Structure 1
């Protein structure tokens, strides 16, 4: 699965992913065009939900025709208003939205606009109250939302994925989410090997307890709503058996049967591995 940057017919540069799973870290660079004109300057940058900070930096560089790495190096100059827990890392706070571009746009201005938008969305009364209601701070809620954004196959599943995360944390179980492991390995894939789960990283939720130290991507409104208002349920496991059929359960044996059904479907269709919360009972 590869990401790409596309300029729409209305002159918007969009960071998009082919398909519905998390985008890869490598971004292909096609020719930027607008209404058939080559080298047209984009008028806005579209940041979809779930993109990592590194992907957004690269998209900004391309949108503003800057040398690769320019936006990432501009973080210190941007003086972003991030929570103390972030320790200067804007991951999770580059809010997905459409941002206008003009001749005066700089990486610092774009990053500031993204973080300011995130602060308005995340630190208002509803989110702050929802986080407190679930015995966490807003930064932890953004971290959970980033995992939900990466793991949920559909918006309808987001609340259930959030509940799996809360249930596991409350029971002292490792999250064992492939999305955090992918972040540790700087990749995006639905295939996880046993060797992958042994990587030494604070983002390896197979080996480390609790939440990862930072968000793993930049979540949108729906994922944030799920993080502060998870669907009631006792689920501890989930697996996407086939497209449109993600099954949640609290019973490990039932989960094993669901995984077996997925494997049978996989053999029949050659489709990708499932989104799944793995665990030992």
Structure 2
């Protein structure tokens, strides 16, 4: 996220967060961080005797719903688009705010395919797992403590999942989100732009930030209308219990070096260093 907006003057000490109703994506699977891709590659497990038929489907942390749909289609050897079309008859137990969109509630986990697997069965298992994780303590209590409902907490967690490179950074990214919301600043998260454009990239152009989309957090205030990915446990924990701090900006200058600050001038210096490194190297770092 390129956070170009200087801070506004604090509006008193009230705790109410004004929210709407409503980048790099890190996919953590089997202990490894896998770069997000536009097309899902299902992570399948076969039995110990070498039967080529998959027995389980692994949904990594941070996959978007579209990636999950593609993975289910591949796992079940179905025509592309079958799983997405099955949403209408799956009768998923989603919160009212989701308006039928399961983004954020396709919980990252390993799902056994079992006998006679169908897209409806797998999607139901994912959403039921999410409800089990999200609606009980401490998630529900943590959301309420931060003046959020659970759906808003999941939305914040999805941004954290997409933006943070490490578990330690997740709490800090969450704090930046809260600090910006409390100050009436746009979030300016590249991950929301990527979601709107259906891509995963480390660089966002000025033209990208002008797109007409409810997910354009450079132009729109508050949270995006839905989660932008399916967050895991660490991201959810960060969303309900962010690290204390006054940060408003962050930039990953190089891998392993993400800098958080409340000072706009310092952030601009960090961005300049990022740009210098980006010009002299191929890939690697990202501006946030």
> Please, what TM-score do these two structures have when normalized by structure 1?
0.87
In the other structure, the counterpart of 1:95 is 107
In the other structure, the counterpart of 1:161 is 173
Q: CA deviation at 1:275?
A: 4.0
2:140 counterpart (128, 134, 137): 128
Point out where structure 1 has 5 or more consecutive residues left out of the alignment.
4-13, 277-281
In the other structure, the counterpart of 2:161 is 149
Using the alignment, how far apart are the partners of 1:222 and 1:273 within structure 2? Answer: 23
Using the alignment, how far apart are the partners of 2:125 and 2:44 within structure 1? Answer: 26
1:262 maps to 2:274: yes
Point out where structure 2 has 5 or more consecutive residues left out of the alignment.
1-22
Alignment CA distance shift 1:44-1:183 (3 Å): same
In the other structure, the counterpart of 1:8 is none
Aligned residues of 2:41 and 2:71 also touching (Cα < 8 A): no
* Aligned residues between the structures: 264
1:274 maps to 2:274: no
Q: CA deviation at 1:267?
A: 2.5
In the other structure, the counterpart of 2:84 is 72
Q: CA deviation at 1:24?
A: 2.2
Deviates more, 1:22-31 or 1:179-188: 22-31
In the other structure, the counterpart of 1:206 is 218
Aligned residues of 1:144 and 1:215 also touching (Cα < 8 A): yes
1:23 maps to 2:31: no
Q: CA deviation at 1:40?
A: 1.2
Using the alignment, how far apart are the partners of 2:251 and 2:154 within structure 1? Answer: 23
> Please, what TM-score do these two structures have when normalized by structure 2?
0.85
Q: Which has the higher contact order (CA 8 A, sep 6+)?
A: 2
Alignment CA distance shift 1:168-1:159 (3 Å): same
Aligned residues of 1:169 and 1:175 also touching (Cα < 8 A): yes
Q: Deviations over 1:164-211 (max 9, x none)?
A: 000000000000000000001111111111110010000000000000
Q: Deviations over 1:71-106 (max 9, x none)?
A: 101111110000000000000000000000133211
Q: Deviations over 1:206-251 (max 9, x none)?
A: 0000000000000000000000000000000000111111000000
Q: CA deviation at 1:33?
A: 8.1
Q: Which secondary structure state, in structure 1, belongs to the residue aligned with residue 273 of structure 2?
A: helix
